[in-house]
Amino acid sequence: MEIHQVEFGGKVISFVLERKPVKNVNLHIKPDMTVMVSANEKVPLDFILGFVKQKAAWILKNIQFFEDVQPEVQSEKEYVSGESFKYLGKQYRLRVEESEAEGVKYYRGFIYLFVKDKQDLKRKEKLFGEWLRNRAEIIFNESLEKMYALVQKYNVKKPKLMIRTMKARWGSCLRDSHAILLNFELIKAPKYCIDYVALHELIHFIYKNHDHQFYSFLSALMPDWKQRKAILDEEVVREL
């Protein structure tokens, strides 16, 4: 593998070139924002550099996309103004304000935490956690409703939704109790990733195992599921 660079619009784009027996020059961007190019040994480097430069605007757009959904750095939160929290795929800055009317609101890139005593860490944590769980309940149910519409005609009875924090999975299909379990941590992911997990688990009511039929059906209903999964895999490594 070789590393090369091209300039575009005052920015430098680095890419990894891999020589392999492929028919065309292929380019893709990994969720960690590495630009990968593969090409046959016979393709001149100048042609490849020109090809990458032609795709530069598209590359920069997609790098920005992956930057926006990068996982937050895990740390102990103190719930003070300036801290960053991940919500639906975006980073929000926290603003803590003293107020007799306690609660949480978010707008214009900020999450506002209104609390009577700004020094009361446990109260701030409780208020924020309750708000986040309430939002998860609403958003996960909306996602389930939307994805269920895709499988309803296949004689799938609408399952009940359960939400828990899980270490190893984004979701789980509980066939015996006819329920879908979604990981609370999904509230940090973009809505289209939540949709992917909900659909994945719904399909398990039709195909129990991760076999060819399962993935063919998933691809038919959601052709870009691999991209959505890649973003989730960057958030936290979990399984479905």
Report DSSP state, residue 239: B
Kindly report each contact of residues 112-121 with a partner whose C-beta sits within 8 Å and lies 24 or more positions away, as own/partner: 113/79, 118/80, 121/78, 121/79
39 strand-pairing partners: 19
Q: What is the pLDDT of residues 154-169, one digit of tens each?
A: 999 999 999 998 877 8
Residues 6+ apart with CB under 8 A from 235: 69, 71, 185, 188, 189, 193
Closest CA to 219 of 139, 142, 146, 150: 150
What does residue 177 show for φ and ψ, rounded to 5 degrees? -100, 5
Give the three-state DSSP class for 35: strand
Confidence (pTM): 0.67
Query: Measured between alpha carbons, how far is 164 from 131 in angstroms, rounded to an integer?
Result: 15
pLDDT, residue 68, reads 60
- Please state whether 155 falls in left (phi above 0), alpha (psi between -120 and 50) or beta: left
| pLDDT beyond 70 at 130 | yes
* Cβ pair 201, 172 in contact under 8 A: yes
Mean pLDDT to the nearest integer, 219-228: 95
Q: Indicate the pLDDT class of residue 40, thresholds 50, 70 and 90.
A: very high
Using one digit for the tens of pLDDT, what is the confidence trace for 54-100? Answer: 999 999 988 877 666 555 444 578 889 998 899 998 889 999 999 99
CA distances from 210 to 79, 157, 167 (A): 41, 20, 21
Query: What phi, psi does 5 have (nearest 5°)?
Result: -135, 150
**pLDDT at site 67:** 67
Q: Write out pLDDT tens, residues 136-154.
A: 999 999 999 999 999 999 9
Percent of the chain with pLDDT strictly greater than 70: 93
